[in-house]
Amino acid sequence: MRSLHFFLAIVCMASVSCWIRIAPVFAETPAPGIHWGALGYPDQEPTLTTGLSIFRFTEFNAEGERFNDIKETIGLNLITMSWTEHWISHWPDWSTNFTIGIGPTRNQPTEWLQNDLIHDSIWGIPQVPVEEKRNQTDFAIASSITRWWEVAEQKRLVFLSGGGQTGSLYHEVFARGGVRRWSPLHTFERMVTPVENWFGCLVRPMRVSGMVRAGRIFTGAAFHDLANTVYTAQGSISYGWYTPGTLRPWMEIEAGATFGSGIFNDDQGVSLGEQFWTLAFRVHPFTFESWNDQLGNKDFGPTYGGRLMIDLYFLLPNSWIDS
């Protein structure tokens, strides 16, 4: 375990030192975002975001059935900061990310959102019972490096990435690969002829993303009895308006689905599969994203979460911005 912590610390410090040397909306989520259904793609453009991320793990469902051997409800309230930098001057096809989240783990406000607002006021369905609750200060630190490829004149389309995360929740090393904001119409126009009719105007702002991810998991203080390995597939469709010459969305809506083998085990030591839907709204520099396990129709364990973020990268001195 000490060697794992040393490895993760080296990854994080190396990424930070690179940003300091090169010094110069949407940023990567802190752990455990991807395993709750949050979109986990690397950033196509430089970002410096901060905000609030919440995650809820419920011990029971509305019928009183227990999810697994974790005998407490865990509501994470993380103040997060995420910094992505693209090494334009030296390595134009590479980017790094450093993300940190820290905050009080309490039953509120996630119980109020789940039981009083969603279950009671909106849907009129039974509330989820709560017994033991985790009351601690938890934190998560993650770092990654990503290699990008241009395809058919679409910049930073295909990616391959690796990294690690540690903290009081759990520890993980991971690898991921996929495509980010692929424009089908752009590819069609290059292969056939320009499409300038109403169909082109409708489809042109649409983007398609997809990713596969594999991780090696190690237990932490908050989450124990975890699966040794976890595999995740994620896909999404977005529609929006993008900055000319960059891939930064000025306004965008994105809907996604996540299917994973699950980081949590059942009583027999078999990992519990997960399915989530995700919906994100972006109006630069703000991002609101929410995810829920309704796609899996279970409503306990890693059940839902959300985040509200603001991108402050535009406040950095112009001399730092090199993209």
Other CB atoms within 10 A of residue 196 CB = 10
Encoded amino acid at 16, one letter: V
For 220-281, give the secondary structure using H, E and C.
CCCCCCECCEEEEEEEEEEEEEECCCCCCEEEEEEEEEEEECCCEECCCCCECCEEEEEEEE
**Read out DSSP for 276-303?**
EEEEEEEETTEEEEEEEGGGTT--SEEE
In a structure prediction context, what are the per-residue pLDDT tens digits for the chain, which is 323 residues long? 433 343 333 334 333 333 333 333 457 888 899 999 999 999 999 999 999 999 999 999 989 999 999 999 999 999 999 999 998 778 889 999 999 999 999 999 999 999 999 998 888 889 999 999 999 999 999 999 999 999 888 889 999 999 999 999 999 999 999 999 998 876 666 555 555 555 555 556 889 999 999 999 999 999 988 999 999 999 999 999 887 667 888 899 999 999 999 999 998 889 999 999 999 999 989 999 999 999 999 999 999 999 999 999 988 776 444 44
Encoded amino acid at 106, one letter: R
Tell me the torsion sign for CA atoms 112, 113, 114, 116.
positive
pLDDT of the residue at 217? 96
Q: 190 CB contacts (<8 Å, ≥6 apart)?
A: 152, 153
Q: Are the CB atoms for 252 and 180 separated by under 8 Å? A: no
- What are residue 69's phi and psi, to 5 degrees? -90, 5
pLDDT of the residue at 314? 84
pTM: 0.85
